[in-house]
Chain A
Amino acid sequence: MSLNPSPRPPLSEAVASGPFESVERSAAKPAPAEAQPAVDGAVGYRRLLPVDWDRYLVRIGALLVAALGWHLASTYGFDFFVRFDNVPGPLVVGAEFLAQASSQEFYVHIFHSMQRIAMAYGLAVVLGVTLGVLMGRSRFAEDLILPYIEILRPIPAVAWIPLAILMMPTEQASIVFITFLGALFPIVINTVHGVEQTPKVLVRAARSLGASNAAILWHVVLPGALPSIVAGLAIGMGVAWFSLLAGEIISGQYGIGYFTWSAYTLVEYPKIIIGMLVIGGLGSLCTLLVRKACSPLLRWQTEGAKS
């Protein structure tokens, strides 16, 4: 088919496609490569680059502008309502960060925080998804559990600290408990939401194909709820970090929250900012990991959106 002047597909292809195909191909959505107009083609080509590098330039630039402002404000002792005279500049913080990064204790703090996150988050995922599915599928379960969720959900992590310390056997357990509570609610709420949105026609289709209730849960309800569950998992990870820090600041001997707070009491100001930035970085990293880990399960959604 090297030289085929006519715009029609070569004969062999026309035969290979079924009886529907030859007529209906025009109705089908065109494959992106073959039929897009030239203008769109340019955009499509840029999309092929591994990242939108120009957009990342802007993002890095935005951060650099903030760092520059921070540097100037602390160097010249900016003092108008907000005071920068006690705030170390980015260069001082950077030097201190390098010092911390070569000390073992710094990593012990990070390790303790990550360990608490892993335990609390793992527990929250298992329990949150289970409760969410139960509530989404059974009206009785929803009526039973929803009152607790509605009352407990607005209570911030910090407010739990006194009771957690009173109730839990160890300090570690109380911090994990507070972190767990923070992650739990967004996961439950999003799972319920996703499960309740299962399209009725898909359940009917599955039933008429002979699916049992268990098969419908596994093949229809859960995959359908997955986009919403994944959103809940990502939000839950953010709230988990938020709650962890609250717990670590008040009690505990290790952890990045303790690191930050003790730096304040010991008047080691650069370490405060290092602690904050590490929290921000680790929180974002964990959320990114959750999204990346779930994205293969949502391939059907992204592929559908592309065409």
Chain B
Amino acid sequence: MMPSQLTRAAVVEHPHSFRPRSAGGKGRISVRDLDIVFATGSGPQRAVASASLEIQPGEFVSLLGPSGCGKSTLMNSVAGFVKPTRGEVLLDGHSIVKPGPDRGMVFQQHSLFPWKTVKQNVAFGPLMAGAGAREAESVANTFLALVGLSRYANAFPTTLSGGMQQRVGIARALANYPSVLLMDEPFGALDAQTRSMMQENLLEIWGEFKNTVLFVTHDIDEAVFLSDRIVVMSASPGRIIADIPVRLPRPRTQELLTTPEFMALKRECLALIREQTLRAFEQQNQAG
């Protein structure tokens, strides 16, 4: 069964509530001369250094870098959780001051409300946006159908597998129709088979919504497979050291992973990441 049929079936099932609005030219992210410095016990620590980045509406961009390089910090500044020490972060020309439903977040794991059922989790965003209980529930049903979890609507999240929990997380973030989807290593805790299924399905869903996606990962295959662009960050402090366009045709499937074009991009990223990882190791050795 073609996955896109499923989403179409969801449209038929809820003709009134489901409108996969394209973000309509919204979702432009501008990061300008961004510095983020944290105060730590051993003095100030620079997590992000002079980062500048322009992301077009509807673009799928991955932030790739060794662990601890500040890529999550950069994303958190777009989310509104972290304030810039210097520079600015804009969404559609407006400075980001706090988190908001226009930027849906998907976290690595354990981010669902365990005391709410799957459906209540997904309905939470619409409810907070002022929708009535019935309307919020109908939106939740739609998005659960979109990720193929209608059968688990009344289950509690902890009874679901890790992959299913992440699908609920995606449905929950999308239920607010955000112009930007921020994903912080969303598949990092999943096994390899589940992860590759999740990647393909994320692309299908994104194909319906065409919102801007900022995707943090340290998995090179994942970054190349998903993205329009890969932004590579250096070891701490995190600087942007490369911005690699990925001109692979869409829709993408797993066969892509063995093509020479994919391999070439992967090799390019691998060289950059390896160099940065070695640097990170050296830093750690010096610190220790």
Chain A residues at the B interface, C-beta cutoff of 8 Å: 15, 17-21, 23-24, 27-29, 199, 201-202, 204-212, 215, 219-220, 223-224, 226, 299-301, 303-307
Contacts and interface: CB of A to CB of B under 8 A. Distances in A.
From B111, B114, B115, B116, name the one whose CB has the most chain A CB atoms within 10 angstroms.
B115
A108 B172 CA distance: 56
A224 B124 CA distance: 16
Contact of A204 (B81, B113, B114, B197): B81
A200 B194 CA distance: 26
Given A18-B147, A209-B128, A210-B101, A307 B159 contact: yes
A20 B164 CA distance: 9
Contacts of A23: 193-194, 197
Contacts of B150: 18
B64 interface: no
A303 B156 contact: yes
A283 B105 CA distance: 48
8 contacts: A18-B6, A18-B148, A20-B164, A23-B193, A207-B81, A208-B99, A220-B113, A306-B159
B113 A27 contact: no
B114 A19 contact: no
Contacts of B173: 208-209
Interface of B: 1, 3, 6, 79-81, 98-101, 103-105, 107, 110-116, 124-125, 128-129, 145, 147-151, 156-164, 167, 172-173, 176, 182, 191, 193-194, 197-198, 201, 204
B100 A20 contact: no
Contacts of A223: 113, 115-116
B113 to A, nearest CB: 6
Given A27-B163, A210-B125, A300-B156, A19 B6 contact: yes
Contacts of B191: 27
B113 A202 contact: yes
A215 B111 CA distance: 17
Contact of B113 (A15, A219, A305): A219
Contacts of A303: 156, 158-159
Contacts of A19: 1, 3, 6, 148, 201, 204
Q: 7 closest A-B pairs (Cβ-Cβ)?
A: A18-B148, A304-B158, A210-B101, A19-B3, A210-B128, A208-B105, A28-B161
Contact of A208 (B101, B148, B159): B101
Given A18-B147, A226-B115, A303-B159, A27 B193 contact: yes
Contacts of B167: 20
A116 B38 CA distance: 54
Nearest to A307: B159
Nearest to A303: B156
Nearest to A302: B156
A226 B159 CA distance: 19
Given A204-B79, A209-B172, A211-B128, 20 more contacts: A18-B148, A19-B3, A19-B6, A19-B201, A20-B148, A23-B197, A24-B163, A27-B194, A28-B160, A201-B110, A202-B111, A205-B107, A205-B172, A206-B113, A207-B98, A208-B80, A208-B99, A208-B103, A303-B156, A306-B159
B197 A208 contact: no
A27 B195 CA distance: 11
A307 B172 CA distance: 23
B115 A224 contact: yes
A204 B105 contact: yes
Contacts of B80: 207-208
Contacts of B157: 304
Nearest to A298: B115
A212 B101 CA distance: 11
Given A20-B197, A27-B193, A204 B99 contact: yes
Contacts of B116: 219, 223, 300
Given A204-B81, A210-B129, A303-B156, A29 B113 contact: no
B176 A300 contact: no
A138 to B, nearest CB: 20
B193 A304 contact: no
Given A17-B151, A24-B197, A307-B159, A205 B115 contact: no
Nearest to A299: B156
A160 to B, nearest CB: 37
From A206, A208, A306, name the one whose CB has the most chain B CB atoms within 10 angstroms.
A208
Contacts of B104: 208-209
Nearest to B178: A208
B159 A199 contact: no
A210 B159 contact: no
A20 B147 contact: yes
Contacts of A211: 124, 128
Contacts of B151: 17
Contact of B161 (A24, A205, A207, A220): A24
Contacts of A226: 115
A117 B201 CA distance: 58
A212 B176 CA distance: 15
